[in-house]
Amino acid sequence: MTRPMNQTQRLRQTIEDEIVGGHLALGARLDETQLAERFGVSRTPIREALLQLAATGLVETKPRRGMVVSAPEPGHLLEMFETMAELEAACGRLAARRLTPELEAELTSALAACARAAAAGDPEAYYGENYVFHTVVYRACRNDFLCGQALALHRRLSPYRRLQLRARHRVAQSLAEHEAVVAAILAGDGAAAADQLRRHVLIQGDGFSELVANLRALDNSAA
């Protein structure tokens, strides 16, 4: 039985959801007093919630600014994406071997939802469907530990993955990559599924340069 969340845990979940959902921007200052007033609580549970989020890397302490939504250095960010790429590759490889009829239906449905969002030209809607798509791939690997690790890092990287979708033609490119992933999984080709997911996640060349440029723009605007 799942134990109910206490006040600090609820606050942490709410703030985390706002960061992942893009409502709290990268580099945004997290003022304890303002957050306490907003949520109608004392500063103590806010401080505890922010410290818990700092342990996950979603927020960090900056000199003269206090707690802010984390915007790591490009090199560290690239390392996180490299790790994410390998986790997703492992999920795809196992999913190709272990896919059930129920999860196959969920996977094709998630892909169709991504296609509808892309056709509508709505990057934010696509981002939401993209999240669902990846979580289905994680569950399809049928390894709860691996699924949990992949989901945790995906959420950690969600603000940056959202930024990627702002790049020109990225939504259409992402959809094509999703289609290749699904084709490989449905064909039972674990090696191809792993390769497609690895390339889908890993940021290289112009894609990484675009993300770094967006991060610098956000950092400059917050200064």
What CATH number should be reported for the domain holding residue 137?
Answer: 1.20.120.530
Q: 56 in a domain, yes or no? A: yes
pLDDT digits (tens, 9 = 90+) for 44-70: 999 999 998 888 788 988 888 889 998
Residue 192 belongs to a domain: yes
Q: Are residues 90 and 62 in the same domain?
A: no
CB atoms within 10 A of CB 28: 18
Q: Mean pLDDT over residues 155-182, rounded?
A: 86
Same domain (yes/no): 30, 137: no
Choosing from 21, 53, 70, the residue where a domain stops is 70
Residue 14 corresponds to which tokens in the numbers above?
């709410």
Q: Are 43 and 36 in contact (CB under 8 A)?
A: yes
Q: What domain count does the chain have?
A: 2
pLDDT the model gives residue 2:
38
**By the 8 A CB rule, do 197 and 85 touch?**
yes
113 and 30 in a single domain? The answer is: no
Say if residue 159 is in the same domain as residue 84: yes
pLDDT digits (tens, 9 = 90+) for 28-46: 999 999 999 999 999 999 9
Question: Of 217, 211, 200, 220, nearest to 84 (Cα)?
Answer: 200
Q: Are 177 and 80 part of one and the same domain?
A: yes
Instruction: Mark whether 154 and 133 lie in a shared domain.
Output: yes
pLDDT, tens digit (0-9, with 9 covering 90-100), for 113-145: 999 999 999 888 898 899 999 999 999 999 999
Query: Does 1 map to a domain?
Result: no
Give the model's pLDDT for residue 1: 40
Task: Give residue 63's Cα distance to chain centre.
Answer: 27
Whether 214 and 135 map to the same domain: the answer is: yes
Residue 20 lies in a domain: yes
Residue 146 in any domain: the answer is: yes
Structural domain span for residue 81: 74-219
In this structure, are 162 and 137 located in the same domain?
A: yes
Instruction: Determine, yes or no, domain membership for 98.
Output: yes
Beta strand segments in the chain, E: 59-62, 66-69
Let me know whether 88 and 30 are in one domain. no
pTM of the model: 0.75
* pLDDT at res. 156: 82
One domain for residues 111 and 205: yes
Looking at residues 163-179, what average pLDDT do you find? 87
**Would you mind telling me the total number of residues written for the chain in this entry?**
223
Please indicate, yes or no, whether residues 43 and 149 belong to a single structural domain of this protein. no
Note whether 106 and 80 are same-domain residues.
Answer: yes
Tell whether 2 is covered by a domain: no
